[in-house]
Amino acid sequence: MKPTSKTYVAYALLGCCTLVLICFALLPSGLLANDGLSYYGVHWISVLPYISALALYAVALLYATRLLAIQYAKPEVEKAGLVMNLCLALLAVTPYTLNAPIHAAHDTFGSALFCTQLIVALWLTTRRRSRGDILLVLLLLVAGIAAFFSLFDIWSLEVAGQLVYQFTFVGILWRYIEESARVRERSQASRA
């Protein structure tokens, strides 16, 4: 059986999660540091798994947005995936501990990533308007707010907010990828 793009998304996400868990194991202090996942990009012991996790996440997002762009005939979705990939790359090359301007740029790239993901999630949710999708978008907003206020040290939930936000975003994408796969299967079955 030939692997599908959906399979590549799943493998990339699994690899990304494994690498993030490796970062946690290497430096458990990052979970409480309130510097977000980027904490692992500024410590030599965790730089390689951190950068690798970002790269695999970028691959997953690229495949996922490409699948959804084809399904909905909306090239803008794939372009949003490219913007997310650019943001991930820029996050990787702007270690926030270097100086204040780089820290500000790093925060801006992270915020741009979250905003782009929110726009894609909202657009997808308007396609179907199911209760499950609406609840996921609400969870996305709550996690995003927690991560945002943690940037300013108002709350100490940056890692938790980022993880919940990213897992929720992936959950939203996955629901639509699954729907896309079902539509394709039905279409192929009707042609046979």
Give residue-wise pLDDT tens across range 50-77.
Answer: 999 999 999 999 988 988 888 888 899 9
- In the numeric block, the tokens 């707010």 are attached to 145
Query: What percentage of the chain reaches a pLDDT higher than 70?
Result: 95
Tokens of 70: 């084809």
Confidence at residue 22, expressed as pLDDT on a 0 to 100 scale: 95
Using CB atoms within 10 Å of the CB of residue 144, give its burial: 0 to 12 exposed, 13 to 18 middle, 19+ buried: buried
Per the structure, the count of domains in the chain is: 1
How many whole angstroms from its chain centre is CA 70? Answer: 20
**Which tokens sit at 2?**
């030939």
Q: What is the pLDDT of residue 127?
A: 84
For the segment 20-25, the average pLDDT, to the nearest whole number, is 94
Domain containing residue 158: 5-191
User: How far apart, in whole angstroms, are the C-alpha atoms of residue 71 and residue 185?
Assistant: 12
Greater confidence (192 vs 190) lies with 190
